[in-house]
Structure 1
């Protein structure tokens, strides 16, 4: 009798375990999109971000009006010749001489500037000597101030592009101080 009860008990457990599995009708899933996500083909058009404004998929990626990104500090001088002249005349570094790390400034200059302007600021960098860019001025030939240097690093000038995405505001001021040091040595 005991053996019969054991056998019945084991059969009931096996039947109940097997009866819960049905591939045609899966059980309830807590978050089904996590298990069976919608497949999207790479590089095809999608209406995921389309809006009635006609921005073609960009409306969900644009920030709301009037917002600025965290840590952003606005730069009040416009990207014009007048803005350059104003920055040249009025803009002063917020860093004092103890806050400028010349070793770090030299490293940043060597990475971003020396390829065109040369390591001594003479306008004879690697790209100039290989004739990839011509007309890069020497710092000795230009009446520059730390404000004009910062402005040019921020916006770019002529064939020089902006370095505002690569260098933070403090790093741009440090590079400006280093360029002033190079100008004094030429």
Structure 2
């Protein structure tokens, strides 16, 4: 008798659940665009922009966030101006020589050598020739910073690898090495 009640209860529940569905009146969807996304053609015109064709341009006179203005051009004249006029914004107490030494050993010592004598590992192996000794060069912190920013001769730019602060640290360390040679 108990099993007959159980079977009847299951049949009633199944009828109750199946009677709720009505194909003529579908249920409402919450946020239907999440279920059925509106497709857009990749390079089609859009009314999201003012002219309907391309993205908006930034206002005139604006610069990117984090962009640092550098007034010296990548020319010989710019190098000479940087050598004569560009000064480090770091004072002598804020220069962390341990960090500067670490950065120098990562980026510069492979060619210029740990002592700045132009005898790095790549030079001693014959991969590069003519890497200058800091003792023989007339350099300033401004000229070293300028060369790190743009590169010079076969040396590439380190503008993307190091921040401006790190390049100033390395420039200070190069001047320290020059005074020790």
Q: Name the TM-score, length of structure 1 as normaliser.
A: 0.74
- Count of aligned positions: 163
CA deviations on 1:16-57 (whole Å, 9 max, x unpaired) are 47x579xxx9x85441367x999xxxxxxxx83588xxxxxx
Distance change >3 Å, CA 68–CA 116, structure 1 → 2: same
Shift of 1:132: 1.2
Q: Which runs of no fewer than 5 residues in structure 2 stay unpaired?
A: 46-53
Structure 1: which 4+ aligned runs deviate by more than 6 Å? none
Does residue 174 of structure 1 match 2:169? yes
Q: Secondary structure of the equivalent of 1:68? A: coil
* Map of 1:10 onto structure 2: 13
CA distance in 2, matches of 1:164, 1:72: 12
2:114 corresponds to: 119
Matches of 2:124 and 2:145 in 1, distance apart? Answer: 25
- TM-score normalised according to structure 2 size: 0.76
Q: Which has the larger radius of gyration?
A: 2
